[in-house]
Amino acid sequence: MKRLIFCALVALCTAQITPPVIAQDFKDRPEWIALKAELVRDNAYDGAALDAVMARVKRQDRVIAFMDAPIRAPTPWHAYWPRHIGGDRLQRGTEFMKANKASFDQAEAAYGVPAQVIAAIIGVETVYGRITGNFRVVEALATLAFDYPRRAEFFRGELKELLLLAREQKKSPLDFIGSFAGAMGWPQFMPGSYRRWAVDFDNDQRIDLWGSSADIVGSVASFLSGHGWQRGEPVMLPIARPSAEIIASIDGGLSPRKTLREYLAAGVTITARDSDVTLPADDAQVGIISLDNADGRDEYWLTFENFYVITRYNRSRMYASSVWSLAYALKQTR
């Protein structure tokens, strides 16, 4: 009797700690069946063709591992920027701009985005095509759409966008290679951004964010313009150390914004400004951020609408600051 009770307890405990088995084959999952039905109904997609693709798509556990990597303490600016704009990025960026001057000039004229900002985005994202990812995008997105509940809705939408993009480009969805989160090409566009903002800038009747420098340059400019880039206005400008009250209001992220008039009235002083940028109207919303240096002395910067447009790529003051730092360095070499 005791032995039977012991065996029963072991079985119960084992059942409780054994993780649920998740099907590796997405084709028969109810989540996929529902998404397929949408594509068939709303986009006239062929259901059999979709199933044929999904039959070859497998769950990628590495994708989940990358998404669930432990959150580390915020990296200080003096350690962050060398990782994102250091190395040979300035040299490679200068060479890339020189080799594609006509495309940069065309994009700047069409969209109002300075060439150095376009180039800096590409440099920060992929070091000018050096690091574009090695995951099958459809597998990364399916894994996140169906087996990553925390952001399943977002990635489900991006999986749908990828399948539509593949049909538009007359390619197999299995052919797209990118990051573990589904970003693609030199600019690291998600499928939705690819469909919405990527442009055929070399007029060859196709959009290629891996092999066409013109398409890459034009598409980054299109993205920034589409998110509200303000032609001729600054990204961020250095200011003298502001009042203790203003410093106390800086939250370490994307600081609350006030009008430019309010900050100037509170004694905020811009310490440097290039002649080719124009301050926005006094009622424009601007912010203030701080960046910590290795010597312990913080830098303070006034951030404008174009700074926040850059954060549409990555919602981080550190990211936008690194893009502008590389852009400014590229501007000097240009």
**Which whole-number Å values give the CA distances from 136 to 126, 128, 130, 140, 220, in the listed order?**
17, 20, 17, 6, 23
Instruction: Examine the residue annotation and report whether 161 is marked as an active-site residue of this protein.
Output: no
- What letters, b where the CB count within 10 A reaches 16 and e where it falls short, cover 180-201? bbbbbbbbbbbbbbbbebbbeb
Please tell me the distance from the alpha carbon of residue 183 to that of residue 140, in angstroms, as a whole number.
10
Catalytic one of 38, 108, 125, 153: 125
How many Cα atoms sit within 13 Å of 120 on the Cβ side? 29
Q: Which long-range contacts (CB under 8 A, 24 or more apart) does 18-22 make?
A: 22/59, 22/147
Q: Is 323 exposed, middle or buried (0-12, 13-18, 19+ CB in 10 A)?
A: buried
- What letters, b where the CB count within 10 A reaches 16 and e where it falls short, cover 220-233? bbbbbbebebbeeb
Q: Which residues does the annotation mark as catalytic?
A: 125
